[in-house]
């Protein structure tokens, strides 16, 4: 299993309606691509204050790196990225695979 973490920091000018549209568009990628095994998302709710301005996060799970790679190249994903980029001050993507030994 490959875990794909995506964090967005929206520009200050982006309103709640636009963010809700991004959330809906992101969720629509699951059926559009057919490659995502699990999809979770939500706004930051950590009391630690370490989010560095990232307000919304997504966790997608793929069978493996090949499925993730195909998802990234899928036209629906590419269109989503093109639509959301102008709304973002920053994005952070971090992937990791199951199977790392426990420390």
The domain ranges of the chain are: 2-45+53-97
> In this prediction, what percent of the chain has a pLDDT beyond 70?
96
pTM: 0.92
In the block, residue with structure tokens 């950590």: 46
Average pLDDT over residues 13-25: 98
Specify whether domain 2-45+53-97 bears CATH 3.30.70.100: yes
Task: Tell me the mean pLDDT in the region 59-66.
Answer: 97
Q: What is the pLDDT of residue 55?
A: 98
Q: What is the pLDDT of residues 23-42, one digit of tens each?
A: 999 999 999 999 999 999 99
Q: Give, in order, the Cα–Cα distances in Å from 88 to each of 3, 49, 50, 68, 100.
A: 22, 20, 19, 22, 32
pLDDT mean over 55-80: 98
């Amino acid at each position: 299993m490959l875990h794909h973490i995506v964090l967005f920091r929206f520009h200050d000018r982006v309103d709640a309606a636009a963010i809700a549209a991004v959330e809906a568009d992101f969720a629509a990628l699951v059926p559009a691509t057919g490659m995502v095994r699990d999809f979770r998302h939500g706004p930051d709710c950590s009391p630690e204050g370490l989010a560095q301005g990232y307000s919304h996060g997504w966790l997608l799970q793929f069978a493996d790196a090949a499925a993730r790679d195909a998802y990234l190249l899928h036209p629906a994903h590419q269109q989503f990225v093109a639509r959301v980029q102008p709304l973002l001050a920053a994005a952070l993507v971090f992937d990791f695979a199951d199977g790392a030994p426990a420390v």
